[in-house]
Amino acid sequence: MKVNVSATQGKTILDSGWLAARSTEVHFNGIQLTTTNPPTGPTLPWMEALVPSTVLATLVKNKLVPDPFYGLGNEAIFDIADSGREYYTFWFFTTFHSKLSGNQHCDLNFRGINYCAEVYLNGHQMVLPKGMFRRHSLDVTKILHPDGTNLLAVLVHPPDNPGTIPPTGGQGGDHEIGKDVATQYVEGWDWVAPIRDRNTGIWDEVSIYITGPVKIIDPHLVSSFFDNYKRAYLHATIELENRSIGIAECSLSIVVTAELEGNIHSVEQIQTINLSVPAKSHMQYTFPEMFFYKPNLWWPNGMGKQALHNVVINVTVKEFGESDSWSHYFGFRKIESHIDKATGGRLFKVNGEPIFIRGGNWILSDGLLRLSKKRYETDIKFHADMNFNMIRIWGGALAERPEFYHYCDYYGLLVWQEFWITGDVDGRGQPISNEEGPLDHALFLFCARDTVKLLRNHPSLALWVGGNEQTPPDDINAALKNDLRLHPYFEHANENFNNVDALSPTSGDPSQYLDGTRIYIQGSLWDGFAEGMGAFSDGPYEIQYPEDFFKDSFYRYGFNPEVGSVGMPVAATIRATMPAEGWQIPLFKKLPNGYVEEVPNPIWKYHKYIPYSKPDKVHDQIQLYGAAKDLDDFCLKAQLVNYIQYRALLEGWTSRMWSKYTGVLIWKTQNPWTGLRGQFYDHLLDQTAGFYGCRCAAEPVHVQLNLATYFIEVVNTTSEQLSNVAIEASVWDLEGKCPYSKVIENLSLLPKKVTPIVEMEYPKSKIPKPVYFLLLKFYKMSDSKTLSRNFYWLHLSGGDYKLLEAYRQKKIPLKITSEVFIDKLTYKFQMHVKNTSIIPNSKSLTSRQSDSWSATDSPKTVHSGDGKEHETHWFKRMQRRIAGKQDDSKVYEIKGNDIGVAFFLQFSVHASKSDQKEGEDTRILPVHYSDNYFSLVPGETMTVTLSFEVPQGVKPRVTLHGWNYQEGHTIYEALQ
């Protein structure tokens, strides 16, 4: 149980060795537990605990309750409304070693507890006040044990108002949880079942922090720019606390280094100041402005590089030495926002460049708050892989953690952070309740201000929002507006200050504001979002006809913060998260009006399944492909629909970029539970095909088919004009022939613009095929480099895809050449996949068709702030970085005599096992693919990269499935 902490200064995280027990089963008080009667191990009533996490996560870990994420397991767990709060009031206990020397000081820090707690350390009691979103720092210098062995016990109490769950469920249960400053989703929503302990626990980081006599508190970093971003200034303000009884003569330094490729750091600025800090006092200090010429800028995903600078602040005390040190990765960037006159939607600018927002809504990564850096990195990289540029943190969930923001900084995801208000719970739901919000307004504001201080230095943080589909109560809203007011430099999106005098003493240094750099919007439906005045005008949230997304009538307003649809995962996820009775596919009930109603099994219904039909509005989209035979068939057809649905959603919005829309956020990108709706990857971290539909549609440069007009369009969201470029459009039928092809050359396309090019004429030809494939390629004429590739499967108006059922029997030959690099437990693959079928007496369009397209994580074209183009090839970079072994190239061939499109190919990675049990989930997750669910026309090659880690002792097996390859093929298997 012991965590060793030396007297070395700095932070040590206490995340292992914890025990937990229900308070009613522990017969000692906190003083006894931390003096004479500590627990000695995981013996009843004590058990191994997950910290940070929740009570329920600890009970699940110890198999004392069913897994609430599996089947109907959640129904067998006592809800706090029935058990009482005492049932989920728990002791948490650990020991740590810390022996101070000289004038050292020690803080015990809790970065998040839900909801309040009593802390006992070596027999001393300290009380942590209420509030889920506040940090607690306890000076324990005088109560550490002289021999360095310290006993820590924490009694954690649930929220005061956990509420009850109405029989019909509902958004936020009975809404009682809204009286507390806590997560609101825990009473259940239309995408999650109730969380039985309401997230009670030590849910965020616990640490020991050792300093000298003077401590650094909450530095604030702000950048400003002049001369069109050629000159930059860094403004930094800190608070110093002198905990000694004498004046501290200090040397304060700030060092800024630029992180270069290969983890090399280049020192850009150093500044050192001497000052005196009075005894037993707090003192604010502002560094003189630091000047940078042509700094590397931080850009959102798709606009350029995410340049980060490491800022290190040190304080050294005379006759002591270094007393404290603080560091943070900082990005030079300016975010501005205003309501666009042309569209009425909110428009964002980064470093003076308008950015068309394409992103998603985020709840949290895990409903039991099993949060980790590793999971966060996967989550955020998935969003970057989809070419998204913004994540909205929904108000019914968390103030997300610094680790989440770190990866948003790293991968370039702008973040919309809401405070803890929702329309459903706080004054607008059914029934209307909590019209005045939480009971303790001062507590809400304390938590909000503390959250701002925790997160404000992250370049990815784009805006603060008062709440979801509701505004905070008037007094809270007014206080937030005042606290989060903008410094004049950041007030006007079209203004550029030309000299540093703009940051004069009369306007105030922006680093002395609570934030000062980002807008505050009172609610998600106000001030340029949706209708803009608070009316419910987001959504819809159900299946749509793909062409409808392109129609002018689909959505009226300039920026939609929530529009959602289906999200069925793959069959393996259903089998892994449900017993056999949950593997039954929906009943398709034909209604008198000709529409079909899907009737899901009870487990799917409990897991919030959303149908692929909308009777009276949208015919069932699964049945377009014919009757689903079983779970595998249903889930495969669902992936076809997922891909089409979400690609069309984003392409439809992007088609009206700047003319009607300024942005869209999809509801939602993922699930914190094993839900069956609105997700691009499931809770086990396997992607749906919708993931890759989004990835395709949200490319910075993209060629697409307008499904309403059948015009081919090119989207250029970058700041560069595209010249000497061309489009190649080819139609392929189910017999493998190419009845239509067209090349449009010598195009020149303006930056940040959607350009209609030409109508796709094939459907109007004399005898068009009822089902056909369309391949669009957009490329440079100078070197034939493909800039964008887009593949469609289409049917004639009023038709369906049932002819594809017989196409499954086609045996299309493939050749897959694999290269793998292995570094300990990390595998990185390149898979070169070629459709080797060739049409007799045909050039198969142009010679460019063969071996022309690489869908790696590059070649990825990014556009930097200086307008220069940089190409980064992921695999080449990886080869330079990894000093691992390279397996020889392996070639795998799938024989076949048929000619045609190799349709809907999908890689997956599994543990290679000789004793595999029937139905066992062998998938290795997560896997990062450069593309998946892809198709190849005759003669075409695509390069797909895969990267993943394997558990210790596990060897991977890479398989390929597809519409024409249902039995699956093992492409690579590691030697045992």
Q: Give the active site residue among 176, 400, 562, 819.
A: 562
Residue 631 to residue 638: CA distance in whole angstroms? 10
Tokens 């402005």 belong to residue: 289
CB atoms within 10 A of CB 231: 17
* String of DSSP letters for 863-905: E-TTS-EEEE-HHHHHHHH--SEEEEEEEEEE-----S-EEEE
Kindly state the DSSP code that residue 597 receives in the 8-state scheme.
Answer: E
Edge-to-edge strands, sheet with 519-521: 519-521, 461-465, 414-418, 390-393, 357-362, 663-667, 559-564
- On the CB side of 306, how many CA atoms lie within 13 Å of its CA? 18
Residues whose CB is less than 8 angstroms from the CB of residue 710 and which lie 6 or more positions away in sequence, other chains included:
759, 760, 763
Residue 969 to residue 832: CA distance in whole angstroms? 15
Residue 858 · residue 846 · CB < 8 Å: no
Residue 655 · residue 550 · CB < 8 Å: yes
SS3 549: helix
Residue 807 · residue 963 · CB < 8 Å: yes
Q: In 94-114, which positions are buried (b, 16+ CB within 10 angstroms) versus exposed (e)?
A: bbbbbbbeebbbbbbbbbbbb
* String of DSSP letters for 732-793: E-TTS---EEEEEEEEEE-TTEEEEEEE--GGGSSS--SEEEEEEEEEETTT--EEEEEEEE
Residues whose CB is less than 8 angstroms from the CB of residue 703 and which lie 6 or more positions away in sequence, other chains included:
712, 713, 714, 715, 727, 776, 777, 778, 787, 788, 789, 790
SS3 539: coil
How, if at all, do strands 2-4 and 90-97 pair?
Answer: parallel
Query: Closest by alpha carbon to 458, among 418, 518, 500?
Result: 518
Residue 361 to residue 415: CA distance in whole angstroms? 10
Interior angle at CA 432, CA 426 and CA 437, nearest 5: 25
Kindly state the DSSP code that residue 526 receives in the 8-state scheme.
Answer: B
Active site includes 469? yes
* String of DSSP letters for 40-105: -SS-TT-EE--SSS-HHHHHHHTTSS--TTSTTGGGGSPPHHHH-GGGG-EEEEEEEE----TT-E
SS3 645: helix
Residue 935 · residue 846 · CB < 8 Å: no
Taking each helix axis from N to C terminus, what angle separates 373-385 and 402-411, rounded to the nearest 10 degrees?
A: 30
116 beta partners: 157
How, if at all, do strands 149-157 and 136-139 pair?
Answer: unpaired
Give me 178's structure tokens.
Answer: 């809204």
Q: Give the active site residue among 336, 469, 728, 940.
A: 469
Residue 215 to residue 316: CA distance in whole angstroms? 10
First-to-final CA distance of the chain:
36
Residue 741 to residue 638: CA distance in whole angstroms? 30
Query: Closest by alpha carbon to 294, among 863, 721, 751, 867?
Result: 867
Query: Closest by alpha carbon to 176, among 168, 165, 167?
Result: 165
Q: What is the largest CA-CA distance in the chain?
A: 94
Q: Is the peptide bond before 668 cis (omega within 30 degrees of 0)?
A: yes
Residues whose CB is less than 8 angstroms from the CB of residue 521 and which lie 6 or more positions away in sequence, other chains included:
346, 463, 464, 465, 466, 527, 528, 529
Q: So which residues are the catalytic ones?
A: 469, 562
